[in-house]
């Protein structure tokens, strides 16, 4: 599927029109694709940056601060701190009602048995019988997808988890290879997907000769994988908007955030290792204004071809933990 930057900018403008503001909190809300769920434009990333708080007595207040401000999409994973992120969320849920959209991601060795084991552990860690959304974590190269799609692969476990109401929706997340994610989205009935979307990783519609080897990195997610999600009306969320901080300095943090939020995503997931970050990101979200077409075209030009290649190499084997 070919798509131009011009058509993306038009779609992004439409996404801004579809934004509603929650009257109670002032937080912009968007619909997560065909799930019909209203989620906050800013998503709380409960990954490595949240784990930097070191202890739950510091981490949980940061999450509660975001929730009080209207953030209602909380993004965790079984591998974050080997379950620590999920356990902290579970600890918080012991004393408060779950009134937010809870997401976790499942990795492992991609077999059915291992996926079911991890799913059961995640539900136990979180202290719930069902999460709202469960993503396949960190889809990699073609071999990785083949393992997931095998007769006794992870895809079988994901479908069963949804059927057995261990989760309401299923999806897939990837920051490594846009061509492989595109194939996965085309082949399977996912409700949602999460991908790397930032000023450096816009890519182009033409696949690289090495696409199957994972060497395209995340460069083409916006042009290659995102159109499939939109066509199939999947929920779409952005991640890696700072590219693990590697884009800081190329543009102001606010502009990096607004770039991703100006795309047709429902939510933008950001790790917030300090309370100041929580406050700053909430302020950006609540005062969000879509970037102009000129800004959407100009910002990516601040990233050199050499840096794009470096990011490709970095994300080709980067592991979320």
CA 201/CA 241 separation, integer angstroms? 9
What pLDDT is recorded for position 212? 36
Which uninterrupted H or E stretch holds 231? helix 226-231
Confirm if 135 and 173 have CB atoms less than 8 A apart.
yes
What pLDDT is recorded for position 14? 54
Compute the C-alpha angle 253/259/263, nearest 5°. 150
Compute the C-alpha angle 223/289/227, nearest 5°. 15
> Is the pLDDT score of 320 beyond 80?
no
CA 162/CA 169 separation, integer angstroms? 6
What is the value of pTM for the model shown?
0.91
> Could you read off the pLDDT of 154-196 as tens digits, one per residue?
999 999 999 999 999 999 999 999 999 999 999 999 999 999 9
């Amino acid at each position: 599927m070919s798509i131009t930057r011009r058509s993306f900018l038009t779609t992004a403008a439409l996404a801004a029109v579809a934004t509603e503001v929650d009257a109670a909190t002032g937080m912009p809300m968007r619909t997560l694709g065909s799930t019909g769920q209203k989620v906050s434009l800013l998503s709380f990333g409960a990954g490595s940056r949240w784990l930097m708080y070191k202890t739950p007595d510091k981490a949980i207040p940061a999450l509660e601060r975001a929730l009080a401000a209207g953030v209602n999409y909380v993004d965790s994973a079984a591998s974050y701190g080997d379950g620590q992120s999920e356990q902290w969320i579970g600890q918080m849920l012991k004393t408060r009602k779950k009134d937010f959209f809870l997401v976790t991601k499942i990795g492992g060795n991609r077999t059915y048995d291992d996926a079911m084991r991890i799913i059961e552990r995640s539900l136990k860690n979180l202290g719930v019988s069902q999460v709202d959304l469960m993503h396949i974590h960190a889809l990699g190269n073609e071999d990785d997808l083949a393992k997931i799609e095998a007769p006794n692969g992870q895809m079988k476990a994901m479908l069963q988890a949804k059927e057995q109401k261990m989760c309401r929706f299923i999806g897939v997340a990837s920051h490594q290879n846009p061509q492989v994610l595109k194939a996965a989205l085309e082949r399977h009935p996912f409700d949602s997907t999460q991908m790397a979307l930032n000023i450096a990783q816009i890519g182009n519609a033409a696949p690289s000769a090495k696409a199957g080897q994972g060497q395209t990195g995340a460069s083409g997610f916006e042009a290659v994988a995102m159109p499939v999600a939109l066509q199939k009306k999947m929920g779409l969320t952005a991640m890696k908007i700072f590219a693990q901080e590697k884009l800081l300095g190329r543009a102001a943090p606010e502009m990096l955030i607004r770039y991703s939020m100006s795309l047709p995503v429902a939510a933008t997931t950001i790790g917030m290792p300090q309370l100041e970050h929580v406050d700053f990101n909430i302020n950006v979200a609540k005062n969000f204004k879509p970037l102009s077409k000129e800004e959407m075209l100009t910002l990516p030009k601040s990233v050199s071809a050499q840096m794009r290649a470096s990011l490709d190499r970095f994300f080709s084997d980067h592991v979320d933990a």
